[in-house]
Copies of this chain bind each other. A is one copy, B any other.
Amino acid sequence: MSASTLGTLFTVTTFGESHGKAIGCVVDGCPPGLSLSESDIQPELDRRRPGASPYVTQREEADRVNILSGVYEGKTTGTPVALLIENTGQRSSDYDVLATVFRPGHADYTYWQKYGIRDPRGGGRASARLTAPLVAAGAIAGKWLHEQYGTVVRACLGQLGDIPVPFRAWEYTDDNPFFAASDDVALLSRLGERLDMLRVEGDSIGARVDVVAQSVPVGWGDPLYAKLDAMIARAMMGINAVKGVEIGAGFRVVSRLGSENSDALTPEGFAGNEAGGILGGISTGQDIVVSLAAKPTPSIRKPRQTIDTAGNPRTLETPGRHDPCVGIRAVPVAQAMLKLVLMDAALRHRAQCADVQRTTRDISR
């Protein structure tokens, strides 16, 4: 299987480097008959886009998506949907020094050692820019899931550095530049100030992102090795900068008793959702709840010790325009990732189990 492909039945094969001619993806396996145009996809890309707020990198990337194939007279035909995003606004000269010096904490060194060659412009293939095609593909998956099952996938910033961002309501996530599910003015100010300060200092900070899928039918996910939680973990851990993934109660389970952690079943529904909507790798019908930890951007202006390709010691102040908190932009990306995983699981499920007659009521409905 291509390492640039995500999914088994609903597949997304991406291509491109940060400062190449274009980036994009081929989305295959989409059911036919779905209404689809660029206007279904562009808003999702715009949410992820650099320059969209003062708190993310100020690179200007128009990120205009172009559907090249797979849609006829406004509907998907069941053939591959190719999405193209031409690269504009690159300032490759920013990166000249990076051709020979490795950024600490970045993929520079490992790509160089693995392939013996790398495109250093803007991080090349390892750039967070490569999440754009996934966000675009996620928009397709999200539309289909919503039309078929009413599924809604949302994400928000859960914590920025040591500042927790308590959840108030989903509706607020697009009203502030942090994807905070909050309208707490003091909190939002504090987030802004922290990021302003980091920008001044040339430093960066980590974040936690929370993702929730609602109205996911019971039964999705394929044990033992395509479990829904396993596939979510793979997708999330593959997002740039992510170092941890939790489902439901996550690491809090470590210090819990069995008698307090499991979610009782009642005729009226589950009495809790510590499991995060997944048991045995299969969706329970409850909300799917995922959290992830994004490390602080390793591309910072503060000087750090490193080496160059000749192995000599160097001090690097990473040039270019970078996010002080890459975790913010990870919000729409994680949201897209969950859509993609759910879509694939939905198709896999109906391939094998389309005929199953349930004899027990779905208690989550």
Contacts and interface: CB of A to CB of B under 8 A. Distances in A.
Interface size class of A (residues with CB under 8 A): 35 or more
B234 A114 contact: no
Interface string A298-322: 1110101111011111000000000
Contacts of A294: 253-254
A304 B262 contact: yes
A352 interface: yes
A169 interface: no
B261 A206 contact: yes
A138 interface: no
A328 interface: no
A113 B31 CA distance: 14
Contact of A351 (B119, B206, B348): B348
Interface in A230-268: 230-238, 243-259, 261-267
A119 B84 CA distance: 20
A234 B33 CA distance: 29
A1 B351 CA distance: 12
Interface stretch (A42-50, A55-63, A181-189, A354-362): A354-362
A274 B104 CA distance: 11
Given A68-B15, A245-B237, A279-B107, A1 B8 contact: yes
B118 A72 contact: yes
A343 to B, nearest CB: 11
Contact of A310 (B295, B297, B360): B360
Interface string A216-231: 0011111111110111
Contact of A300 (B233, B259, B296): B259
Given A105-B279, A279-B107, A352-B78, A68 B359 contact: no
A114 to B, nearest CB: 4
23 contacts: A2-B11, A5-B225, A14-B80, A17-B69, A78-B115, A113-B218, A114-B219, A114-B220, A114-B353, A116-B358, A125-B224, A161-B255, A161-B256, A203-B259, A225-B234, A230-B235, A237-B247, A243-B249, A244-B246, A253-B293, A258-B299, A258-B302, A267-B311
A126 interface: yes
A106 interface: yes
Given A78-B353, A110-B279, A243-B246, A102 B218 contact: no
A13 to B, nearest CB: 5
A250 B244 contact: yes
B29 A3 contact: yes
B13 A282 contact: no
A98 to B, nearest CB: 13
A104 to B, nearest CB: 4
B347 A282 contact: no
Contacts of A235: 230
Identify the interface centre among A79, A207, A252, A352: most chain B CB within 10 Å of its CB. Answer: A79
A249 B164 CA distance: 19
Interface in A326-365: 327, 347-363
A82 to B, nearest CB: 4
Given A8-B8, A13-B28, A20-B69, 12 more contacts: A1-B8, A15-B26, A15-B68, A15-B69, A72-B118, A208-B254, A227-B237, A233-B237, A237-B247, A243-B248, A244-B244, A354-B354
